[in-house]
Structure 1
Amino acid sequence: MAEQTSDTPATTSLWVERTGTRRYTGRSSRGAEVLIGSEGVEGVFTPGELLKIALAACSGMSSDFPLSRRLGDNYDATIRVSGAADRENEVYPQLDEVLELDLSELDAAAQERLVALVERSIDKVCTVGRTLKTGTKVTLTIESDA
């Protein structure tokens, strides 16, 4: 039931369980849950929305250290991510992120240096973004009780 992925520690398992027609609950062995379903269902994320949120969260976490070092631990940040699906091919051909920050306390040169540092940090350590940019092999095994 629980599937181990190569990018999670050996102690963390991830899986989804079907809870209804086109409705699932994603779970981790650490106790986290996320509701997943079709676009027309209230209170759930679609798989594509989760992909986008994973990208934005990864960028945020990858930029957290350099930003907190320069702006302080209590800086505010919002990362918006968008991208329309190509339904003919069932892919997202482009995802666009916007990192919203208040850099008004820095002069123009310091802003430019910080933006460059944040971009490098995200490019270097955001596993989700790096995976999406380079692609990855996905395998599926189907197991039956029969």
Structure 2
Amino acid sequence: MSGEQTKTSRVGVNLKRVSPVHYEVTNGRGSTISVGHGDDVFSPVELLLAAVGACSSIDVDVVTTRRADPEKFDVSIAGDVEKGPEGNRVKDVDLNFSLSFPDTDEGRTAQSLVARLVKLSHDKDCTVGRTVMLPTELHSAVDGEVVA
């Protein structure tokens, strides 16, 4: 056994309705994002994909930028939305990283780390991606009373 202990911390956001099927989500630091249905907002599925991509990107970015700043850092994230008799879900989420660094010793070192960091993020470090991959309990309540 490694001797490491599991740490748990509660994280949350607040969602308020702005108009029909348009919501504003605010975190504890005051940052906001719009979500809903329509041309001018992210859909909930797009936010889920963005969260997976951002989480993994942060894991890669934190380590590689200690060596060199990327000249290009693009990630495409896509998933299949399945609607069926057992309910709706997103499946088969794919992330594709495309990074390039300066042609310097530091840049080549950073570039050489990318594949390993993406795998490490996938397998261990990306909280959002691992939540999507692993079973996670979801509790729904109305005015504090659990309904599902």
TM-score, normalised to structure 2, is 0.76
Q: Is the 8 A contact 1:84 1:94 kept in 2?
A: yes
CA distance in 2, matches of 1:125, 1:36: 26
CA pair 100-74 structure 1, distance change in 2 beyond 3 A: closer
The DSSP-based 3-state class of the residue aligned with 1:87 is strand
The DSSP-based 3-state class of the residue aligned with 1:84 is strand
Q: Is the 8 A contact 2:99 2:111 kept in 1?
A: no
CA distance in 2, matches of 1:92, 1:137: 16
How far the C-alpha of 1:118 sits from its partner, in A, is 1.1
Identity of aligned residues (%): 27
Aligned length: 131
Matched to 1:95, the amino acid is V
Structure-2 residue corresponding to 1:78: 74
Write out aligned runs for 1:86-101 (5 A): 86-88=82-84, 89-101=87-99
The DSSP-based 3-state class of the residue aligned with 1:85 is strand
TM-score, normalised to structure 1, is 0.77
Write out aligned runs for 1:1-146 (5 A): 6-8=9-11, 13-38=12-37, 41-70=38-67, 72-88=68-84, 89-102=87-100, 105=103, 113-122=112-121, 123-143=123-143
CA pair 19-112 structure 1, distance change in 2 beyond 3 A: closer
Q: Is the 8 A contact 1:78 1:99 kept in 2?
A: yes
Q: Is the 8 A contact 2:78 2:94 kept in 1?
A: yes
Q: Is the 8 A contact 1:66 1:117 kept in 2?
A: no
CA-based RMSD: 2.5
Matched to 2:43, the amino acid is T
CA distance in 1, matches of 2:14, 2:71: 34
Matched to 2:142, the amino acid is I
The DSSP-based 3-state class of the residue aligned with 2:91 is coil
The structure showing larger relative contact order (alpha-carbon pairs under 8 Å, at least 6 residues apart) is 2
How far the C-alpha of 1:104 sits from its partner, in A, is 7.7
CA pair 112-94 structure 1, distance change in 2 beyond 3 A: same
CA distance in 2, matches of 1:100, 1:138: 33
Unaligned runs of 5+ in 2: 1-8
Matched to 2:83, the amino acid is R
How far the C-alpha of 1:112 sits from its partner, in A, is 8.5
* Runs of 4+ off more than 4 Å: 109-113
CA pair 127-120 structure 1, distance change in 2 beyond 3 A: same
Structure-1 residue corresponding to 2:4: none
